[in-house]
Every structure is written in structure tokens, then in C-alpha cells.
Structure 1
Amino acid sequence: MLLALGRLQSTGSSAVPWSVAETQLAELIAEFGPASRTSPAQSAAYPFTRLRAEAVWHLDHDVAMDSVGPLRRDGVTGAFVPEIEQHLRSAPGAVAELARSLVDSQFPATISDDVLTAVGLVELVETTVGPSTNLRRRDPTWRMSVVDAWDRRCAFCGYDGQVAGVPVGLEAAHVRWFAFDGPDDLDNGLALCMLHHKLFDRGVLGFDDRHRVTVSGSFTARTEAGRQVYWLHGRPLSAQPGTPLPAPVHVAWQRDQVFKGAALAA
């Protein structure tokens, strides 16, 4: 849907030919979605065909769900159903409002702007559109509770910078994303520096069942600064005594839904 909104904004039509979806949608899923054992084309075919069940999307050929062959053979194009397309074209700010609502409901703040940029909605980056549509409310005390529980240090690298006694560049990260029912509990939180928070939410970093840091084998770096990420692999989380470690259910979710592929070899 975000890809279609980006095309509507840039071309005046939400139409997405399969020839575009097979490459661009597959790349978006690979970059921002969970690791998949299916081919890139098959990963793109799932949402391209199944979104019809939500009555917001239609295809110009009636093809079977998930079937790549007919999509290629018939040159199928998908688009929003006419009434939604008309509303999005005619209502000022409708595309921006829907895009921001979608991205905020599906991704953490660390990567939502990356997603918007990738689908061609760069003008929405760092733009607030109306009140949040998320019915859950975040616990306003959770962030500092997590940072304090981790002794005001990054759980991965130990960074502990402060200005006038206040942590700077240190954030509270949900292990299981808030958008996916991740609770504001201490056993679903980590204190992470801004860099490692970003890499954690992008699936570059994770940890195993023994709470040792894992680095995705898909990550590469050439400079000494970039290669510092490799040296995190196998390091135990930097927790002070009494800090609740991430619960197994949240660890498993992050590994299955966010972490990119297999970890580096030990």
C-alpha cells in the first residue's frame, strides 16, 4: 500500500504493474520485512495478490493467490479500488495522512522515515500528520525506566555519554515492536545508543537465547569504523545485576520477524 501511495503521489495513479512490484516491492520487503525463505518474486506476490481480500485493492486480471507465473504472463497491474483512488486524489492531504498512519502503525520510529523515503514519499519525512490513530498509549515513564535499568549504558557497546548528568544519544528500544503488541515492560526493553538502536530495528543486530549479541551475516562494512559492528558478535548484553533481561517470547519475535537471515559464524 505504501508503494502504491508513493506512485499515486508522484504519477497521479496508484497503479503498480507486476513488472514494477516484482523488483521494487520485493526489494522493499527484503529491506524492511522479516527474513524469508521464499524467492523475492514470491515474497512480492503474496501482498500483491492477497491485498484484494481487504477490499481496498484490485487486479486487472483475475489470477490465483500467490501465483507468480500468471502475474508475469498476463502483465497484471494492481491498484487501489476506484472509490479509494478517487478519495485519495480529491481529498487534500489524504495520501499523506494514510501513509503516515500506515508507517507509524507498522514500524518503529527509528525506521519509519527510511520506509517513507524508500517508497517515494520523502516529503513526509519528519512531518506530523494529525493525531496518532494508534489506540494504545505508550507509557511515558517507560523510556527512562529502561535507560536507568540498564545503568544508562548501551546494552550492546557500553556507550554511556551524558551532558550535565543527562544521557545523550541513548534510547530505549522495544525488542518486540510496540506496533506489534510489544509491551512497555522492562523485559521488552533495552537501552541502546542511537546507532545500535537503528541497526537493531533494521535487523543487523540481535541476540541469542543466552543473551549474547548476534550480527547478521548480511551486514558488510569496509572501514574500521564500520567493522566495529562485527566485534559485537558474541558479546553478552551489558546488564547490571537485577536488570530484567529480554523475555524469551520477545527475543524469539525479534529473531523471526526482524533479524536479517543467519548470524555470523561464532
Structure 2
Amino acid sequence: MADADARTRAVLGRLAALRQHQQDGRRSPHKPLLVLLALSRFAASGSSELPWDVAERELAELIQEFGPASKTPRAQSAAYPFTRLRSDGVWTLDRDVPMDNVGPLRAGVTGRLEASLEAALRSRPGLVDDVARGLVEAHFPATVAPDVLVAVGLDPELLHGGTVAPGTGRRRSSSWPARVLEAWDRQCAFCGFDGQVGGVPVGLEAAHIRWFTVDGPDELDNGLALCSLHHKLFDRGVLGLDDDLALVVSQRFSARTSHGRAIYELHGRRLQPRPGTPTPAARHVVWHREQVFHGLPLAA
């Protein structure tokens, strides 16, 4: 039993260490996305084997959708984690190939989680869910984590299964969400939604501009009160802010009905915080624009 517990701790520790590759506020979810894809295959078949021809398509799509905007070719963006994850001691390839080189991968290379990791995952039911939960919560906010799990083929309900993962040691401020809502008059900073039930805001959330998972502080100048919909769209890179604190809507967003097209009407609308409420700090706005917002803004 002690050996099994030690193996479990080792698995979680080695995979939690992937978080350390985030530097200077730049998001780097490429390796975690690869591991999540491998975990999904392991959960479905008992093997984490991932041929390059599958990774070239599926991993590239995940990186494009959930990583920061990049001009790197899709295949190249997938080749980086597929070859470099070996250096973390959690990933192996069935033949030796150069780092970052797409060409040799197309000769039929297959990757998989390191054998001792697979053995640990096999030895304890539920460990796959624990590892997946730890990874997705370490690299994505709660608004985006379920979407990532669905995209890789894992059940988003695993997010409700408890805690595991060794983290960064940072603790979220328990008072910050209430302070943010109060600072923005308990209404959505984007659309003004202010629904309440029994005097308590409903469907209204405190949103980090720079994500807490990427060292975003629990400070008022890094927070917005947003309705659930606009919080989701902000964290998915559909909505952003320009240097004048006007809303921008990405050209990647489209809608047909009047309800969906109401998002277009947000474009160009300036934030109007109440007097005394700190406006979003420029450094956090720039971080969101560079690391989260996807595509080009709508035309003026």
C-alpha cells in the first residue's frame, strides 16, 4: 500500500511540475494539452499511445483553440511538445528524433506516457481523473477547464471529484470575489446585467483579467464583475479590452440570432466603473490581449 501511495505521489509530482514551464506570464499549455490527450486515450483503451499522425491533427487543434494566439504553423506547434516532453521524464517516443523537427515524425513515430507512469495509472482507479483535474485546473480558469476536458475526450464532471494535485502554494483570496462585485456595483462591467435573487447577485462572477493560474493577483485592478456568459467569452478570448478600456469582439465569434448577435453590440463600448473603483491595470490588459484574446477585433 505504501509503495502504491508513493507511486501516486510521484505521478502527481512529475506532472504538476509541467506548470513550471510558464515564464514571465506567458501561457504555455502545450505540454499539458498533450498529456491530457494521452490520458484520454489511456482512459479509453488502457494505452496512452499517440501516433504522430493523430497528434499532428488533434494536438494542433487543441493548441490553436486553447493556447495563446500564435503564427507558428499548426504542425510545428504540435511538434514542440511532442518531442520536448521527453525532457520532463514523462513521455517517450518509439524512436529517437530531433527536437522540434516535424519531418522525421511523419515517418510513423508514436509517443506515449513513460512506462512507470502508465503502471501507476493502471494500479489505482481514479488516478487518471485526479491527474487530469490537477493539470486542467493548474493551466486554465474554471470557465475554460470543462471545455478543455470535452475537447480532449474526458468527462468534465471529473472536476467535481475532489482535490489532488500539488499546486503552487498560492491560495485564492476568499474575500476577493465579493470585493470585485461590490466595486462594480454588483453588475456586469460589459452589459450591465444585475440580476438578484433575494438580494443576492445571481449569474454574476468575479473575473480575473490576468488568470490566477498564471500568477494573476487577487487585486481590484485585476478584476471585473462579469455575467456568466461574458466571463466565459472573456476567458475564451472572444472578448477583450483595448488600451482605452473599450471592449473588443473577436472576428472569430459569429452568431445568427438576435440574442447571439447582441455580442457584436459590445464592440467599442467603454468600461464605466463607479467613482473610486480602480480601472484594470494596463499590464493585465496587455497580458490578456497577448495571451488570451484570439483573432482580430471586429472592424470599427
Q: Offset at 1:131?
A: 4.6
User: Does the CA contact (< 8 Å) of 1:117 and 1:125 recur in 2?
Assistant: no
Once the two structures are aligned, what percentage of the paired residues are identical?
A: 62
* Cα offsets for 1:47-92 (capped at 9, x unmatched): 11111111111111211211111111x1111111111111111122
1:257 has 2:257 as partner: no
Q: CA deviation at 1:107?
A: 0.6
Q: Does the CA contact (< 8 Å) of 1:169 and 1:193 recur in 2?
A: yes
Amino acid at match of 2:160: T
Name 1:112's counterpart in structure 2: 145
Deviation at residue 124 of structure 1 after TM alignment:
3.9
2:231 corresponds, among 193, 197, 208, to 197
Output the CA distance in 2 between the equivalents of 1:86 and 1:178. Answer: 33
TM alignment of 1:1-266, pairs within 5 A: 1-72=35-106, 74-122=107-155, 124-131=157-164, 133-134=166-167, 135-266=169-300
Contact 1:46/1:65 (8 A) holds in 2: yes
Kindly indicate whether the alpha-carbon contact (under 8 Å) linking 1:18 and 1:71 is maintained by their aligned counterparts in 2: yes
Distance 1:228 1:26 in 2: 31
Task: Give structure 2 stretches of 5+ with no counterpart.
Answer: 1-34
In 2, the alpha carbon distance for the partners of 1:132 and 1:151 equals 36
TM-score (norm 1): 0.96
CA shift for structure 1 position 32: 1.1
Change (3 A) 1:131 1:75: closer
Larger mean CA deviation between 231-240 and 142-151 belongs to 231-240
Counterpart residue type for residue 145 of structure 1: R
Cα distance per residue 1:111-145 (max 9 Å; x no partner): 11111111111164442233553321110000010
Counterpart amino acid of residue 192 in structure 1: L
- Taking only aligned residues, the RMSD between alpha carbons, in angstroms, comes to 1.2
* Higher deviation after alignment, 85-94 or 185-194: 85-94
- Secondary structure of 1:34's aligned partner: coil
Is the 8 Å Cα contact of residues 17 and 77 (structure 1) preserved in structure 2? yes
- Paired with 2:278 and 2:44, the residues of 1 have a C-alpha distance of 47
Residues 147, 123 of structure 1: CA spacing in aligned structure 2 closer, same or farther, 3 A cutoff? closer
- Give the Cα–Cα distance (whole angstroms) in 2 for the partners of residues 15 and 159 of structure 1: 47
* Superimposed CA distance per residue, residues 228-252 of structure 1 (whole angstroms, 9 cap, x where no aligned partner): 1111011001311111111111111
**1:196 partner SS:** helix
Whether the 8 Å CA contact 2:134–2:164 is kept in 1: the answer is no
Matched residue SS, 2:144: helix
Distance 1:103 1:38 in 2: 23
Answer yes or no: is the 8 Å Cα contact 1:96–1:129 preserved in 2: no
Asked if the contact 2:204–2:228 (Cα under 8 Å) also holds between the matched residues in 1, the reply is yes
Gap change, CA 1:187 and 1:127, over 3 Å in 2? same
Q: CA 1:124–1:62 in structure 2 vs 1: closer, same or farther (change >3 Å)?
A: farther
